């Protein structure tokens, strides 16, 4: 098999994950896109392992380790997202602006007490910016 097929597929999958990380607002969807990027790296590792005929099988062993680390990462990430959701009432990464530079408007916006099932306000970004 030509090595360009798996590597190009891996590159494109990585860039799709990159777009998802940058463009999504829900933190759970951002974590899903991170999983896509990790899968792209796994595909590259497996392809290079099959190409080099490594006697130590370093590529496939590292793929197994990456899958395990990804499982740990998604567990901890979802725990953090749940904690933020419980404290703030939203899992929207655009509204978590406590560490941003732009003034007190964002601070009062995100520090409002969480109401039950609060929908994301469409003007949230406008007031924060």
Partner 1 sequence: MTVTAFARASAAAHAASHAAAAHAAPRALAAAPTAGDLSGKGHAFLSPTGVEIVFVLVGLAVLGTAVLSVTTKQLVHAALWLVATLGGVAVEFLLLTAEFVAWVQVLIYLGSVVVLVLFGLMLTRAPIGRSPDADSGNRWVALGVALAAAATLVTLVVDAFRSTWIDLAPGAGSTAANGVTLFRYWVLPFEALSVLLLAALVGAVVLSRRDGRGGLNGRGGLNGRDTQKER
Per CB under 8 A, contacts with partner 1 among 45-84 are 46-47, 49-51, 53, 55-57, 60-61, 63-65, 67-76, 78-84
Cα 8 from Cα 35, distance rounded (Å):
18
- C-beta closer to partner 1: residue 22 or 104: 22
100 binds partner 1 (CB under 8 A): no
Among 104, 125, 127, 128, the residue binding partner 1 under the rule CB under 8 A is 125
96 binds partner 1 (CB under 8 A): no
Q: How far is CA 62 from CA 9, 18, 34, 38, in A?
A: 19, 22, 18, 12
Handedness of CA 116, 121, 124, 125 (dihedral sign): positive
- Closest approach of partner 1 to the CB of residue 104, in Å: 19
DSSP character string of 53-98: T-TT-HHHHHHHHHHHHHHHHHHHHHHHHHHHHHHHS--BTTS--T
Q: Identify any residues that bridge with 102 across adjacent strands, giving them in sequence order.
A: none
112 binds partner 1 (CB under 8 A): no
- Closest approach of partner 1 to the CB of residue 83, in Å: 6
Among 12, 100, 105, 112, the residue binding partner 1 under the rule CB under 8 A is 12
8 binds partner 1 (CB under 8 A): yes
């Amino acid at each position: 098999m030509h090595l360009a097929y798996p590597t190009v597929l891996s590159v494109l999958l990585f860039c799709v994950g990159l777009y998802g990380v940058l463009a999504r607002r829900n933190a759970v969807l951002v974590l899903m896109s991170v999983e896509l990027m990790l899968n792209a790296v796994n595909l590259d590792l497996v392809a290079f392992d099959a190409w080099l005929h490594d006697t130590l099988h370093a590529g496939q062993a590292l793929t197994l380790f990456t899958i395990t680390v990804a499982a740990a990462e998604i567990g901890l990430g979802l725990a953090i997202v749940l904690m933020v959701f419980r404290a703030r009432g939203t899992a929207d990464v655009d509204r978590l602006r406590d560490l941003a530079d732009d003034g007190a408007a964002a601070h009062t916006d995100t520090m409002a007490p969480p109401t039950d099932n609060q929908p994301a306000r469409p003007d949230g970004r406008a007031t924060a910016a």
